[in-house]
Structure 1
Amino acid sequence: MREGVFHVQNLAGIINMRESVIEIAERIGFGIYDQHRIATAVSELAENAVKYAGAGTVEVHPNEQGIEIVCRDSGSGIIDNGDKSVSHGLGIGLLGVEHMMDELSIDTGKDGTCVRIRKWLR
């Protein structure tokens, strides 16, 4: 399976990464609906990385069971106010990302944030 690593710093980079994620998701067997759910979720994460940290890295790891995507940035971390619904990007926020994917985990601190999302083939 082909993996991808994308460095995003602006909207053009996010758009290119999104298109590549759709291609990877299609190649491993996701239908059109799930392809776009995955792309929307990863776009939200990438937009947050660019907005709050200036840039980020998105790693795409396809496998026989589905896809894992890891978004990292070196910002000051996510303030935990208990509200995952707050969003300033596509309007879906972390709660929307969580609903679109099968798994979401967040590791955040003063040195940056790492968000890991997974979607399983059915």
Structure 2
Amino acid sequence: MTKERKTCVRNIAEEPWQQYPGHFGSALSKALVAPETTGSQLMDYRISTYQPMGYVERHVHKVQEQVYHILDGEGLMEIDDEKRVVRKNDVIFIAPGTWHSIVNSGLGDLTFIVVTTPIKDE
């Protein structure tokens, strides 16, 4: 169920950590701006923290664009058939139709922002 859209100010501590489907090994996220938290329709903004070996399984979106912004730590990002180390200050744009996954392959937590639009694949 989508909440009514409303301009708001939220503190990151207000939103509980969740482990979404397809995420494993303490791969946790907070949906800070999403249909279920703010009623947003064109944007999903999350912060994620994956402990070592935490990952999201390889997946693809038909129409969604995504941006990953690595805030801390390092991991291994798979984009289509290429794997690349990503670390603090890297920004990754993922176009629709691109297979992708990320795993924390580092020694500490991997923390990053994920922005997705539109919300639902058609």
Same fold (TM over 0.5): no
Determine which structure has more spread, i.e. the larger CA radius of gyration.
2
Q: TM-score, normalised by structure 2?
A: 0.37
Q: TM-score, normalised by structure 1?
A: 0.37
